[in-house]
Structure 1
Amino acid sequence: MFKKKSDPLVVAEHFVQQYFPHCLGAILAGSVVRGEGTSTSDLDIVIFDEHILTSYRESLYLEGWPIEVFAHSLSSYKHFFELDCERAKPSLPKMVAEGVVLKGQGVLSPIKEEARVLLSNGPREWSKETITMKRYFLTDVLDDFIGCTNTQEELFVVHSLFDLASEFVLRTNRQWTGTSKWGYRALKQFDESFAIKFTEAFDAYYKHREKEKIVEIVDEMLQPYGGRLFEGFSLGKPTSDDH
């Protein structure tokens, strides 16, 4: 029988007092804050401390809780905001915007607002060139999936297809993406009915090796951008303007 854990907010406050007593600000984020915690959830704690010279991440335990620490100065976090937004996976901005302030409300208010603005603006729009390239690679993997007859290879192909397809539908609609459980959450936040349809299509493959629903849904998402792309695609080839 598992021992009942202490209150996460209390443990987070103890952690800050013990490890970062002089920090300017601290935020508790993650699933426990959203009311979605499970038996394996950890505490995500973002620290802002001017004595920190280089941003870092560290994992440890306190009072039965696994804790993930994200330590930043009042300037270094900006670089990670930019990196997260560039890759369209706003991990740190989301933690800061949604998290509960443990210390330094006055210091953190403008930073939380900065994070909220970044999230509401969404990721940078894909260029036409990027969409064309993504169409080509998605088509390539889809063709591999359709023609594959090796079960073991097919499992790897469908995994790539899942990632490419979910990224394509989210980014072409200027939505944030995510990995692991955040991938589904991003789809659900964008369009819950589509998220269900998308996951059901892949579930049918994993349970019954049915490919039709996946092919259909990928073709549907490609159709507004010209459908599958093979002939005429070029990457890196010099044009007449280059001479």
Structure 2
Amino acid sequence: MEKSNRFEPIEAAKQFVDSHFPNCQGAILAGSVVRGEATDKSDLDIVIFDQQFPTSYRESFIEFGWAIEAFVHNKMSYKQYFENDYKRARPSLPNMVAEGIILKDEGIITNIKREADELLANGPEKWTLHTIMLKRYFITDALDDFIGCSNRAEELFIANQLAELVSEFVLRTNQQWIGTSKWTVRALKHYDPLFAAHFVQVFDTYYTDRKKNEIITFVQDVLKPYGGTLFAGFSLGKSNSN
């Protein structure tokens, strides 16, 4: 991509909206450029609200010196995405709407932003005791595999699985939103910066020195307030009928 011909991000976004969605009712620029975290590889994330489209869709472009991701919704489809994001506890679209800069508004964006703000402030649905038990079991299973593994290649992937399971467990038991990839550590930092730093240090030590003990102790400590590791007595799908 030719960076020398790159427009300023807001100008590029406005030009893009005028070119591709001239009749839309609203548009928002979100993503790293809005948060002040843009890099040379950053793109422009633009949420479009256009009533002419019967369903939502996503499309990628390279224009005005930028990679551009368009997330297109009508005035109802975004509500289903909000609901789905709430259920999976990963508020991708609500975050984009809440943090975004308004590029165009024909009287609808204020209310949509308010919906996003309220959803984010309320947090995800609280885990049930049954869900916590299930997650304890799956973490225990992965931890036992990690402890017993002597194959470095397999061990790396088990460690990755543990990191994912434990981060989800910590965030959801504290009624926090979760994320994937870079958003996982951002979610952990939002919850507790000191805990997030410890989490990273524990896994970094393992990846660097192949020392398992810190991860083992860390995972056990995370589970301890909820009853610790769980194997004996766990049952799933068993019928009570004779």
TM range (shorter): over 0.9
Residue matched to 2:93: 92
Shift of 1:2: 6.5
Structure 2: gaps spanning 5 or more residues: none
After superposition, give the CA deviation of every residue in 1:212-238 in whole Å (9 maximum; x if it has no partner): 111111111100100000000000001
Shift of 1:106: 2.7
Shift of 1:3: 2.9
In the alignment, the residues of structure 1 paired with residue 116 and residue 107 of structure 2 have an alpha-carbon distance, to the nearest angstrom, of 15
In the alignment, the residues of structure 2 paired with residue 8 and residue 173 of structure 1 have an alpha-carbon distance, to the nearest angstrom, of 36
Residue matched to 2:214: 213
In the alignment, the residues of structure 1 paired with residue 106 and residue 218 of structure 2 have an alpha-carbon distance, to the nearest angstrom, of 46
Structure 1: gaps spanning 5 or more residues: none
TM-score, structure 1 normalization: 0.97
Which amino acid counterpart does residue 11 of structure 1 have in structure 2?
Answer: A
After superposition, give the CA deviation of every residue in 1:115-134 in whole Å (9 maximum; x if it has no partner): 00000000000000000000
In the alignment, the residues of structure 1 paired with residue 107 and residue 167 of structure 2 have an alpha-carbon distance, to the nearest angstrom, of 39
Residue matched to 2:149: 148
After superposition, give the CA deviation of every residue in 1:75-130 in whole Å (9 maximum; x if it has no partner): 11000001111101000000001100000063100000000000000000000000
In the alignment, the residues of structure 2 paired with residue 21 and residue 174 of structure 1 have an alpha-carbon distance, to the nearest angstrom, of 40
Does the CA-based 8 Å contact 2:2-2:65 persist in structure 1? no
- How many aligned positions are there? 241
Shift of 1:156: 1.1
RMSD, aligned α-carbons = 1.3
Shift of 1:34: 0.4
In the alignment, the residues of structure 1 paired with residue 85 and residue 177 of structure 2 have an alpha-carbon distance, to the nearest angstrom, of 10
2:76 is the alignment partner of 1:75: yes
In the alignment, the residues of structure 1 paired with residue 218 and residue 137 of structure 2 have an alpha-carbon distance, to the nearest angstrom, of 16
Residue matched to 1:168: 169
2:15 is the alignment partner of 1:3: no
4+ runs deviating over 6 angstroms: none
2:109 alignment partner, SS class: helix
In the alignment, the residues of structure 2 paired with residue 2 and residue 151 of structure 1 have an alpha-carbon distance, to the nearest angstrom, of 42
Does the CA-based 8 Å contact 2:25-2:106 persist in structure 1? no
Which amino acid counterpart does residue 177 of structure 2 have in structure 1?
Answer: W
Report percent identity of matched pairs: 58
2:72 alignment partner, SS class: strand
